[in-house]
Chains A and B, each alone.
Chain A
Amino acid sequence: MIPVAFTYRRPSSVSEVLDLLVEHGDEAKLLAGGHSLLPLMKLRLAAPEVLIDLAGLDELRYVRDEGDTIAIGALTRYRDLEIDPILAEHAPLVAHAAGAIGDPQVRHRGTIGGSLVHADPAGDLPAAVLVSDAVLVLRGPEGEREIPVDEFFVGPFTTPLAEDELLTEIRLPKQTGIGWGYEKFTRREIDWAIVGVAALGKKVALINMGGTPLRAHGVEAALADGASIPDAAALAGEDGNPADEPHASADYRRHLATVLTARALTRATGEVPAGLS
């Protein structure tokens, strides 16, 4: 499968990228690791006229300890997140979620910024970043703006990122010592999650239980009221509006959400769920 013809550009700075976006508008697409966009272009579901490769922006590849927060450059690859010592200490859930994506070859290419902007409701990192209460930094011709992650995923594959804007940084509040759990159910090892759950302390985000990654507000409220893990997790199926399609019915997804939420919350307490290793 071969993409529709396009013009390839590889600028070497953020300001050059922004100039190209202004010049080409909605005819242009930004290319990061390319592991969502190139498959779509090969299937001709996407056909940009201009492809702006961000590979020249080394300035957006970093993980930095900034006191109360960890700053991650948008072009940091999954593999680099997976083995980063700062994340291992201060945001291990995000490192783990990055390591749960695809396979090693995919993790050598894919980037956190690409994953968030693609906004696949079945994605791993969107849920991990959502449950982390991160702040996303966007740069456009008018300068920089910050947006809380809970305002970022507005629909399937849809975000408030404007045509002339670039996601540059993800800021995570430090999660040092907070228990976490990450559970996903897939039919085969490298598949997208049928349903997944990211738990951080008493916060829970659901994967593929609707058109966007979602916070399980009912579960979180029950936990805050002192409910047990099984009682709170039983509410996970009520959050969201899962798809009813051949891979799994909506009811089955609701069932998975309750089971996986109980497991993820159990792991967050430091215990291993029954029957698992």
Chain B
Amino acid sequence: MKVTIEVNGKTTTEDVEDRTLLVHHLRDTLGLTATNIGCDTTSCGACTVLLDGESVKSCTMLAAQADGHTVTTLEGLTGRDGELHPMQEAFREQHGLQCGFCTPGMIMASVSILKENPTPTREQVRQALEGNLCRCTGYHNIVSAVIAASGQEVDR
């Protein structure tokens, strides 16, 4: 079927098999490989992208379901001149990553979190990141990064 999705501000129209998962469409058809496939079972959050501005796990959605909608991947956060999004900047400043595999999903989930709760507490950030696993267990700095991106002072 023909699927039209606005991805990172650009309208894309592609022919896909009906059963194509959104994450495969993004990575294999559109070549946007920042979005990782981790567990492939809706648990780890590595494949998190924004659908109409809200975080979703792209391994548990069909490309067909995104037809007519807007998708933002990590590539879409960065400004045209390469300027980092405040959340990316905060992850770098706070060292919110170790191996980096979970990072694209963590950042997309975090952008969605601040949209719903612009000034969360550390505890609220931890709760809201329940769907994203970091197997380096670097959660402390990830939480600090979200707090910093919200404009609040980071209290370690």
* Binding stretch for chain A, among B35-43, B76-84, B85-93, B141-149: B35-43
Which residues of chain B come closer than 8 Å to A35, judged between CB atoms?
Answer: 42, 60
Interface residues in B28-60 (C-beta closer than 8 Å to A): 40-43, 45, 48, 51, 54-57, 60
Closest to B112 in A: A104
- Please tell me which one of the listed residues A1, A8, A79 contacts residue B62 in the complex, with CB atoms under 8 A apart: A8
Is A247 located at the chain interface by the 8 A CB criterion? no
Which residues of chain A come closer than 8 Å to B14, judged between CB atoms?
Answer: none
Residues 77-118 of chain A: 1 if any B CB is under 8 Å from the residue's CB, otherwise 0? 001000000000000000000000011111011000000000
Which residues of chain B come closer than 8 Å to A34, judged between CB atoms?
Answer: 60-62, 65
Q: Is the CB of B42 within 8 A of A108?
A: no
Which residues of chain B come closer than 8 Å to A8, judged between CB atoms?
Answer: 1, 18-19, 62, 64
Main SS at interface, chain A: loop
Q: Is the CB of B60 within 8 A of A38?
A: yes
Is A64 located at the chain interface by the 8 A CB criterion? no
Q: Is the CB of B18 within 8 A of A7?
A: yes
Instruction: Tell me the count of chain A residues lying within 8 A, CB to CB, of chain B.
Output: 28
Q: Is the CB of B48 within 8 A of A105?
A: yes
Is A4 located at the chain interface by the 8 A CB criterion? yes
Q: How far is the CA of A217 from the CA of B36 in the complex (A)?
A: 47
Which residues of chain A come closer than 8 Å to B54, judged between CB atoms?
Answer: 79, 108
Is B74 located at the chain interface by the 8 A CB criterion? no
Q: Is the CB of B45 within 8 A of A105?
A: yes
Q: In the complex, how many angstroms separate the beta carbon of B134 from the nearest chain A beta carbon?
A: 13
Which residues of chain A come closer than 8 Å to B21, judged between CB atoms?
Answer: 2, 42
Q: Is the CB of B19 within 8 A of A104?
A: no
Is B97 located at the chain interface by the 8 A CB criterion? no
Total A-B pairs in contact (CB under 8 Å)? 78
Q: Is the CB of A106 within 8 A of B64?
A: no
Q: How far is the CA of A5 from the CA of B40 in the complex (A)?
A: 18
Q: How far is the CA of A79 from the CA of B62 in the complex (A)?
A: 20
Which residues of chain A come closer than 8 Å to B102, judged between CB atoms?
Answer: none
Is A57 located at the chain interface by the 8 A CB criterion? no
Q: Is the CB of A53 within 8 A of B65?
A: yes
Which residues of chain B come closer than 8 Å to A55, judged between CB atoms?
Answer: 65
Which residues of chain A come closer than 8 Å to B112, judged between CB atoms?
Answer: 104, 108
Is B75 located at the chain interface by the 8 A CB criterion? no
Q: Is the CB of B18 within 8 A of A6?
A: yes
- Please tell me which one of the listed residues A2, A5, A79, A109 contacts residue B60 in the complex, with CB atoms under 8 A apart: A109
Closest to A77 in B: B54
Q: In the complex, how many angstroms separate the beta carbon of B24 from the nearest chain A beta carbon?
A: 8
Q: Is the CB of A190 within 8 A of B130?
A: yes
Q: Is the CB of A5 within 8 A of B17?
A: yes
Is A11 located at the chain interface by the 8 A CB criterion? no
Q: Is the CB of A105 within 8 A of B131?
A: yes
Is A68 located at the chain interface by the 8 A CB criterion? no
Q: In the complex, how many angstroms separate the beta carbon of B60 from the nearest chain A beta carbon?
A: 5
Which residues of chain A come closer than 8 Å to B131, judged between CB atoms?
Answer: 102-106, 190
- Please tell me which one of the listed residues A4, A7, A51, A108 contacts residue B56 in the complex, with CB atoms under 8 A apart: A108
Is A3 located at the chain interface by the 8 A CB criterion? yes
Interface residues in A23-60 (C-beta closer than 8 Å to B): 31, 34-35, 38-39, 42, 51, 53, 55
Q: How far is the CA of A104 from the CA of B114 in the complex (A)?
A: 12
Q: How far is the CA of A35 from the CA of B59 in the complex (A)?
A: 10
- Please tell me which one of the listed residues B42, B43, B55, B60 contacts residue A104 in the complex, with CB atoms under 8 A apart: B55
Q: How far is the CA of A131 from the CA of B130 in the complex (A)?
A: 27
Is A10 located at the chain interface by the 8 A CB criterion? yes
Additional 8 contacts, C-beta under 8 A, given A2-B21, A105-B131? A3-B19, A10-B67, A38-B60, A79-B54, A103-B131, A104-B109, A190-B43, A190-B131
Q: Which 8 A-B pairs have the closest CB atoms?
A: A103-B131, A8-B18, A189-B130, A108-B54, A103-B130, A8-B64, A105-B57, A3-B19
A residues lining the B interface (CB < 8 Å)? 1-8, 10, 31, 34-35, 38-39, 42, 51, 53, 55, 79, 102-106, 108-109, 189-190
